[in-house]
Amino acid sequence: MLQVYLPIAEMSINIAMVLGMGAAVGFLSGMFGVGGGFLMTPLLIFTGIPPAVAVATEANQIVASSVSGALAQWRRSNVDIKMGLVMLIGGFVGSVVGVQLVKVLRDLGQIDLMIALSYVTFLGIIGFLMLIESLRAMSETRAGRTAKRRSGQHNWIHGLPFKMRFKHSKLYISAIPPIIIGAIVGLLAAIMGVGGGFIMVPAMIYLLRMPTNVVVGTSLFQIIFVTALVTVLHATTNQTVDAVLALVLMLGGAIGAQFGVVAGQKLRGEQLRALLAVMVLIVALRLLVDLVLEPDELYTLAPLLGAK
C-alpha cells in the first residue's frame, strides 16, 4: 500500500492503483489504437478525483501518449502536417472556449454535471455505433463478404469555399470542415479531457474522405498540440492540473500501451471493436446511473472560488 499525496487534488491515493489504471487504459489504447482519455477520465472520477482535476490532468497525460503515438506514425510518414495545422486553427479556438466554459460552469457549480452529461452522451452514441458496426462486420466476415468502401464520391463538403490542396491526403477540399472538426475536438478536449480521436477519426474518414493510412497519424499530430494548449490553459485558468497524478498516469500508460499494441496484432479486429464498444457502453451506463439515482448525500462542499 504505497500511498502518494496529490498536491492539487489534495488527497492521498494508492500509487499502485493509479499505475494499474494507467497501464490498463494504456493497454486498451495500444490494442485498439485509441487515445484512452474517454476511459481514463471517468475512471479517475470514479476513484474520487474531482472531475475538473481529472479532466485537466488527463489532457496532460494525453500529450505524452500522443507524442509517442504520433512519432511512430511519423516514422511511417503517415502524418498530413498541412491538414493537421489547418485543424489546429479550429482546435485552438475550441480549446480556449472550452476552458473558459469550464471556468464559468465551475463557478456555477455545474461542471461535474456537464462533464458527466458529455460523457454519457458521447460514450453512449460512440459505443452504440461501434457495437452495431462491429457486429455487422462480424456477421459479414462470417458470410464471407468483404465490406465495400465507397471512395471518390462527392458530397456536400465539396461545395464549400476556401478550397485548399492537401497533397499528402490527395485531397482538394475546403478548409472549413477541417477547422470545424478541429474546433469541436478542442472543445471536447477542454471539457472532457479526451484527445478526441474517437470523433476526429470517423469525421476524417467519412466526412473529409481522407485516406485511412494518414488519418490516425494526422489526428495524433493535432491532438499533441490541442491537449498541450488545454493543459496550459487549465493550469492558468483553473489550476486543476495535478502534475503528480499526470506523471504516474503517463508512466502506467506508456508501459501498458506497448503490451496493448502486441496483443492487438494477435486478435481479430471486429471482436476487439465489439469488446471496446461494450466497455464504452458500461462506462456510459455507470455515469448515467450516478446521474439518475438519488445520491446518498444531496449536499456538496466546495471552496468559494475567488475568495482565498
Partner 1 sequence: MMQIRLHVFMPLLLLLLATAPLTHAAAREDIQSDLSSNEIAIESNFTGARIVVFGTIEDGRRSAEEAGIYDIAVVIRGPAKSLISRRKSRMFGVWMNSSSHAFDDVPSFYAVLSTRPLSDIAKPDILASRGIGFNSVLPVPEISAYQTVWEGEEARDFRDAVIRIKQREGNFIDDDRGVIFISKTLFRATLDLPASVQDGQYSTDVFLFRSGRLLSLNQRKLTVHKVGFERLLYTAAFDYPLLYGLIAVLVAVVVGLSASAVFRRD
Binding residues for partner 1 (CB under 8 A)? 2-5, 7-8, 10-12, 60-61, 63-68, 71-72, 75, 109-110, 113, 117, 228, 231-236, 239, 241, 243-244, 246-247, 250-251, 254, 257-258, 291-295, 297-304, 307
Nearest to partner 1 of 10, 162 (CB atom): 10
Cα 83 to Cα 80: distance, rounded to the nearest angstrom: 5
- The Cα-based distances of 278 to 66, 125, 152, 272 in angstroms read 24, 12, 33, 10
Smallest gap, in angstroms, from Cβ of residue 75 to partner 1?
7
Cα 187 to Cα 2: distance, rounded to the nearest angstrom: 36
Smallest gap, in angstroms, from Cβ of residue 214 to partner 1?
18
Smallest gap, in angstroms, from Cβ of residue 55 to partner 1?
14
Nearest to partner 1 of 72, 164 (CB atom): 72
Cα 26 to Cα 18: distance, rounded to the nearest angstrom: 12
Burial of 111 (0-12, 13-18, 19+ CB in 10 A): buried
Smallest gap, in angstroms, from Cβ of residue 290 to partner 1?
9
Smallest gap, in angstroms, from Cβ of residue 35 to partner 1?
13
Smallest gap, in angstroms, from Cβ of residue 108 to partner 1?
8
Nearest to partner 1 of 60, 218 (CB atom): 60
Smallest gap, in angstroms, from Cβ of residue 279 to partner 1?
23
Nearest residue to 240 via CA among 112, 120, 117, 92: 112
Nearest to partner 1 of 118, 169 (CB atom): 118
Phi, psi dihedral angles at 62 (to 5 degrees): -65, -30
Nearest to partner 1 of 56, 86 (CB atom): 56
Q: What angle do CA 3, 9, 15 make, to 5 degrees?
A: 25
DSSP label at residue 208: S
- The Cα-based distances of 76 to 22, 88, 137 in angstroms read 27, 22, 28
Cα separation of the two ends of the chain? 34
Nearest to partner 1 of 150, 308 (CB atom): 308
Smallest gap, in angstroms, from Cβ of residue 301 to partner 1?
5
Nearest to partner 1 of 144, 303 (CB atom): 303
Scan for cell 494477435, then name that residue: 266
| The C-alpha cell that represents 253 in the structure block | 500508460
- The Cα-based distances of 219 to 197, 205, 237, 238, 255 in angstroms read 6, 11, 26, 26, 22
- Dihedral sign of CA atoms 199, 202, 205, 209 in order: negative
Nearest to partner 1 of 161, 303 (CB atom): 303
